[in-house]
Amino acid sequence: MVTETHKPIDCYLRVDRMPHIWCAGCGIGMATNCFVRGIERAGLNVDKVAVVSGIGCSGRVAGYVKFDSFHTTHGRALPFATGLKLGNPELNVVVFSGDGDIAAIGGNHLIHSARRNMDITVICVNNFNYGMTGGQMGPTTPLEARSTTSPYGNIEYPFNLPYLVAASGATYVARWTVLHLQQLERSIAEALVKPGFSFIEVLSPCPPVYGRMNKRSKGIDEMHYYQEKSIVRNGADLKETEITFGGPIVVGKFIDIERITFGERQRKLLDKVHEKKQA
């Protein structure tokens, strides 16, 4: 009932570039909204936040947030972010990437960065296709879904991203839809302060392409689908969280464990080498 006004988040956005390019109903805007609110909730020093993104609609996030941000090449946000973090460990490095960017061309970097437990937070906006190029199928497109390169229905199995990333060694794995605003904001805030590789998959509508080709041409249709079919199951068994076309969507915080990060081991190594020399 009592309401607190949120501080206008315009201070975190490049308002000179508004309105942004995302389509009406696109969930990337909501993911970004939750992201900047998550930063505020986590109380981070905004001068030390660095955002690295790849190519695609999700990749455009870097251009709209008012942090040190880098719009790099397709699939290569993670190695760039690795270099950034190792160059200045005080930075809080966030990677914003789409499903195709991070799991297809960037797949190798995804599993290795998770394996190393690099202290990076990845927010993967999954709209089940390559949106910017017009709606081609991608590694997360559900079986039988239509796209411009699967006009007869997709015959490939999609990745279950939380399963993949957890198996590779990530220490924080969650999946939310853009309808789960409060949970997403909280998840982002948790992931940002947690050391180690954090991965948050955010399911989003893509009304003009994926949505239209799969009979959900309005964002509202996809949002209703999330409303009806999503089930919050924190700590679910990841083997049972795959997404099928029209089927239930298991969301929640799946993994939240402790594991020494690459950066910590690196520091210990430097100390050891330094001691040996002094001796």
Question: In sequence order, what are the residues at sequence separation of 6 or more whose Cβ sits closer than 8 angstroms to the Cβ of residue 190?
Answer: 42, 172, 198, 253, 256
DSSP state of 159: P
The distance of closest approach from Cβ of residue 180 to other proteins in the complex, given in angstroms and rounded to an integer, is 11
Three-class secondary structure of residue 51 per DSSP:
strand
Of 138 and 205, nearer to other proteins (C-beta) is 205
Of 164 and 223, nearer to other proteins (C-beta) is 223
Element of type H or E holding 108: helix 107-116
Residue that the structure tokens 């719009």 belong to: 71
The distance of closest approach from Cβ of residue 60 to other proteins in the complex, given in angstroms and rounded to an integer, is 9
Task: Please give the span between the terminal C-alpha atoms of the chain, in angstroms, as a whole number.
Answer: 65
Question: Could you write out the DSSP letters of every residue in 202-218?
Answer: EE---IIIIIHHTT--S
The distance of closest approach from Cβ of residue 150 to other proteins in the complex, given in angstroms and rounded to an integer, is 26
The distance of closest approach from Cβ of residue 88 to other proteins in the complex, given in angstroms and rounded to an integer, is 4
Cα 60 to Cα 243: distance, rounded to the nearest angstrom: 26
The distance of closest approach from Cβ of residue 65 to other proteins in the complex, given in angstroms and rounded to an integer, is 8
The distance of closest approach from Cβ of residue 30 to other proteins in the complex, given in angstroms and rounded to an integer, is 5
Of 107 and 153, nearer to other proteins (C-beta) is 107
Cα 63 to Cα 44: distance, rounded to the nearest angstrom: 20
- Which of these, 245, 50, 238, lies nearest to 128 by C-alpha position? 245
- Which of these, 228, 209, 227, lies nearest to 218 by C-alpha position? 209
Task: Report which residue type is found at 198.
Answer: S
